[in-house]
Structure 1
Amino acid sequence: MLRLCLSAVVALAGAGAAASAAHADGRLEARYRMSIAGLELGRAAFLLEVDQDSYTASGSARLTGVVRAVSSAKGSAGARGLVENGELAPRSFAMEAETDKKSEAIRLALNGAGVTDMSVEPPVSQSDDRVPVTDKDKKGVFDPMTAALIMVPGTDDPLSPKACERTLSIFDGRQRYNLELSYERMEDVKAEKGYAGPSVVCRIAYRPVAGHRPSRKAVKYMTSNKEMYVWLVPVAGTRVLVPFRASVATAIGVAQLEAQSFVSEPMVGKGPRPSRAAAP
Structure 2
Amino acid sequence: MLRLCLTAVVALAGAGAVTNPAHADGRLEARYRLSLAGLELGRAAFLLEVDDSTYTASGSARLTGVVRAVASAKGTAGARGLVERGLLAPRTFAMEAETDKKSEAIRLALNSAGVTDMSVEPPVNQSEDRVPVTEKDKKGVFDPMTATLIMVPGTQDPVSPKACERTLSIFDGRQRYDLALSYERMEDVKAEKGYAGPSVVCRIAYRPVSGHRPSRKAVKYMTENKEMYVWLAPVAGTRLLVPFRAAVTTAIGVAQLEAESFISESMVDKRASPSRAAAP
The question of a shared fold, defined as TM-score above 0.5 by the shorter chain, is answered with yes
Partner secondary structure for residue 9 of structure 2: helix
The question of whether the paired residues in 2 share the 8 Å contact of 1:20 and 1:155 is answered with no
Task: Give the partner amino acid of 1:122.
Answer: P
Task: Give the partner amino acid of 1:37.
Answer: A
Aligned mates of 2:181, 2:79 — CA distance in 1: 22
CA RMSD of aligned residues (A): 1.3
Seen in structure 2, the aligned counterparts of structure 1 residues 38 and 100 have a Cα distance that, compared at 3 Å, is: same
The equivalent of 1:164 in structure 2 is: 164
The equivalent of 2:202 in structure 1 is: 202
Q: CA deviation at 1:238?
A: 0.4
Q: CA deviation at 1:100?
A: 0.3
Q: CA deviation at 1:9?
A: 3.3
The equivalent of 2:254 in structure 1 is: 254
The equivalent of 1:93 in structure 2 is: 93
The equivalent of 2:237 in structure 1 is: 237
Q: CA deviation at 1:8?
A: 5.0
Partner secondary structure for residue 119 of structure 2: strand
Seen in structure 2, the aligned counterparts of structure 1 residues 50 and 102 have a Cα distance that, compared at 3 Å, is: same
Aligned mates of 2:182, 2:38 — CA distance in 1: 26
Task: Give the partner amino acid of 1:65.
Answer: G
The equivalent of 1:193 in structure 2 is: 193
After the TM superposition, which segments of 4 or more aligned residues of structure 1 sit over 6 Å from their partners?
A: none
Q: CA deviation at 1:7?
A: 3.2
Q: CA deviation at 1:6?
A: 2.2
Aligned mates of 1:190, 1:161 — CA distance in 2: 20
> What does 1:1-280 correspond to in 2, within 5 Å?
1-7=1-7, 9=9, 11-18=11-18, 21=21, 23-268=23-268
Seen in structure 2, the aligned counterparts of structure 1 residues 250 and 27 have a Cα distance that, compared at 3 Å, is: same
Seen in structure 2, the aligned counterparts of structure 1 residues 265 and 81 have a Cα distance that, compared at 3 Å, is: same
Q: CA deviation at 1:72?
A: 0.4
Task: Give the partner amino acid of 2:88.
Answer: L
Encode CA deviations 1:105-141: one digit per residue, 9 max, x unaligned. 0000000000000000000012111000000000000
The question of whether the paired residues in 2 share the 8 Å contact of 1:4 and 1:10 is answered with no
Task: Give the partner amino acid of 2:141.
Answer: V
If asked which structure has higher relative contact order (CA below 8 Å, sep 6+), I would say: 1
Percent sequence identity is 87
Q: Which sections of structure 2, spanning at least 5 residues, go unmatched?
A: 272-280
The question of whether the paired residues in 1 share the 8 Å contact of 2:5 and 2:42 is answered with no
Aligned mates of 2:71, 2:104 — CA distance in 1: 16
Partner secondary structure for residue 56 of structure 2: strand
Aligned mates of 2:218, 2:251 — CA distance in 1: 10
Aligned mates of 1:33, 1:60 — CA distance in 2: 12
Q: CA deviation at 1:10?
A: 5.3
Partner secondary structure for residue 7 of structure 1: helix
Q: CA deviation at 1:268?
A: 1.4
Partner secondary structure for residue 237 of structure 1: coil
The question of whether the paired residues in 1 share the 8 Å contact of 2:8 and 2:246 is answered with no
Q: TM-score, normalised by structure 2?
A: 0.94
Aligned mates of 1:20, 1:50 — CA distance in 2: 17
Encode CA deviations 1:192-245: one digit per residue, 9 max, x unaligned. 000000000000000000000000000000000000000000000100000000
Q: How many residues align?
A: 271
